[in-house]
Amino acid sequence: MTRKKRRMIWQIINGLAIGLVVSYLGLCLFAVFFSDRMIFPAPEPSYTDSKDIVKLPLRNGNEIATLYLENPDAKYTILYSHGNGEDIGMIRPFLEQLRDQGFSVLAYDYPGYGISDGRPTEQGALEAAANAFSYLAMIRDVDPDKVILFGRSLGSGPSWALAAKKPVAGMIIDGGFSSTFRVVTKKKIVPWDKFDNLALVDQVQCPILLMHGGQDRTVPFAHAEELFTAYDGPKSSLFIAEAGHNNLVEAAGPRYWDAIRQFTESLK
As annotated, the active-site residues are: 153, 216, 245
Q: What burial class does residue 79 get, using C-beta atoms within 10 Å of its C-beta: 0-12 exposed, 13-18 middle, 19+ buried?
A: buried
Report d(CA 68, CA 53) in Å as an integer: 8
Show the DSSP H helices in 34-106 as ranges.
35-39, 92-100
DSSP 50-66: -TTEEEEE-TTS-EEEE
Helix (H) or strand (E) holding 257: helix 254-266
- Return phi, psi of residue 237, to 5°: -145, 155
44, 115 in Cβ contact below 8 A? no
